[in-house]
Amino acid sequence: MAIEIRKIGVIGAGTMGNGIAQTFAAAGFPVVMRDLKPEFVERGVATVTKSLDRLVSKEKMSADDRDATLARITGTTELSALADCDLVVEAILEVFDLKAALIAELDEVCRPDAILATNTSSISVTRIAAVSKDPSRVIGMHFFNPVPLMQLVEIIRALQTSDAVCDAVTAMVGAVGKEAKVSKDSYGFVVNRVLIPMINEAVNCVAEGVATPEDVDDMMKLGANHPMGPLALADLIGLDVCLNIMETLYNGFDDPKYRPSPLLKQMCAAGYLGRKTGKGFFDYGS
């Protein structure tokens, strides 16, 4: 029997979480967005409001649709508010122990037939699923930033994920106007396994004095037809996130080709994380 998804829970009201909540709500689904503190929830709702206002100003959404979308999002700090959700997507920090603890909590809160999805960008979904009392209902849904604009959602099947859960989540992605691509569970999956080592090698080119950050990016834009250079993209993603994924690949595969660039480590240690701190490979100060 096909699994029907009517109500969505999103855990985490940060950049990814509020984008995921907006995407589901704009497609007509009621969403419960939960975070640990009221101010986090309020900030997430404010971000969604600003995003929708931008769409209205560009005449890509009507004011009525904006208001209806916002009305479908309920903010909360209570995990119990997710009890009647058919699908819960966690978008918390990219730390296995935190995700594992949350899945264990959701086992107690959610209905036995609810689907539990993780938005992890590189951690083994099989390992996360193993924490659940019913690993067959756990799956990876890797959205990309900015969520409302990016079309791809990587669907990652844990070794334990059931066919019914995979089919339901894949159909759900199509229902919100995005494209699902299914991959087996492997460190970094497909996109980050290809993308982040490329960024890491661009960092190595700068570290070795092969070219300046500006020239590295210009060469990749002009020579490989990339819309954005790898170092500007790293600044957008966050250098700490890039380092985290490289370390996951390096430790997971135990392969030296995934060794994080020493310069990437150094910049993270200095707090030069990219756009979010105002400085990375490029400066973003006012």
Same domain, 154 and 39: yes
Instruction: Give 189's DSSP letter.
Output: T
User: Using CB atoms within 10 A of its CB, is residue 164 exposed (0-12), middle (13-18) or buried (19+)?
Assistant: middle
Whether 103 is in a domain gets the answer: yes
> Within 10 A of 218 (CB to CB), how many other CB atoms are there?
13
Tell me if 283 is assigned to some domain.
no
Asked if 84 contacts 111 with a C-beta cutoff of 8 angstroms, the reply is yes
Same domain, 170 and 45: yes
Nearest to 139 by CA among 74, 189, 80, 78: 189
Antiparallel, parallel or unpaired: β 73-76 and 87-90:
unpaired
* Residue 284, in any domain of the structure: no
277 has a pLDDT exceeding 70: yes
Q: Which residue type, as a one-letter code, is found at position 213?
A: P
Are 164 and 247 within one domain?
no
Q: What burial letters (b/e) apply to 101-130, b meaning 16+ CB within 10 Å?
A: ebbeebbebbeeebbbbbbbbbbbbbbbbe
139 and 210: one domain?
A: no
Q: pLDDT band for 48, please (50, 70, 90 cuts).
A: very high
Q: Which residues are annotated as a binding site?
A: 12-17, 35, 51, 58, 94, 99, 121, 145, 276
Q: Give residue 84's pLDDT.
A: 97
Please check whether residues 77 and 166 belong to one and the same domain.
yes
Show which residues are catalytic. 121, 142, 154, 192
Q: Residues comprising the binding site for CoA?
A: 51, 58, 121
Per-residue pLDDT, 286: 61
Q: For residue range 14-40, what is the model confidence (pLDDT) as tens digits?
A: 999 999 999 999 999 999 999 999 999
- Percent of the chain whose pLDDT exceeds 90: 98
Q: What region, left, alpha or beta, does residue 3 occupy, with left being phi > 0 and alpha being psi -120 to 50 degrees?
A: beta
Does residue 270 form part of some domain? yes
Instruction: Give yes or no: residues 202 and 146 share one domain.
Output: no
Residues 171 and 209 in one domain: no
How many structural domains does the chain have? 2
CA pair distance 258, 235, nearest whole angstrom: 19
Write down which residue in 122, 156, 184 finishes a domain: 184
Rounded to the nearest integer, the mean pLDDT of the chain is 96
Q: Please report which residue ranges of 15-137 form alpha helices under DSSP H.
A: 15-26, 38-57, 63-71, 96-109, 125-129
Kindly report the CATH number assigned to the domain that includes residue 30: 3.40.50.720
Q: Provide the residue range defining the domain that includes 86.
A: 8-184
On whether both 140 and 250 belong to a single domain, the answer is no
Q: Tokens at residue 168, please?
A: 């339901």
Residue 283 is given by DSSP the state B
- Block residue for tokens 């210009």: 218
Q: Do 114 and 244 fall within a single domain? A: no
Residue 137 lies in a domain: yes
Q: Is the pLDDT of residue 209 over 80?
A: yes
Mean pLDDT computed over 236-259? 95
Residue 1 is assigned to a structural domain of this protein: no
Is 282 inside a domain boundary? no
Residue 175 CA to residue 129 CA, distance in Å, equals: 25
Same domain? 46 vs 178: yes
90 and 129 in a single domain? The answer is: yes
State the CATH number of the domain containing residue 251: 1.10.1040.10
pTM of the complete model: 0.92
pLDDT of residue 249: 95
Asked, for residue 78, whether it belongs to a domain, the answer is yes
pLDDT of residue 285 exceeding 90, the answer is no
Question: Model confidence over 110-151: pLDDT tens digits?
Answer: 999 999 999 999 999 999 999 999 999 999 999 998 999 999
**Over 90: is that where the pLDDT of 234 sits?**
yes
Higher model confidence: residue 2 or residue 199?
A: 199
How many angstroms separate the CA atoms of 224 and 267, rounded?
Answer: 26
Last residue of a domain, one of 154, 184, 214: 184
Cα torsion 154, 163, 27, 174: sign: positive
Give the model's pLDDT for residue 1.
Answer: 62
Last residue of a domain, one of 184, 214, 231: 184
My answer on whether 39 and 154 are in the same domain is: yes
What residue numbers does the annotated binding site for NAD(+) cover?
Answer: 12-17, 35, 94, 99, 121, 145, 276
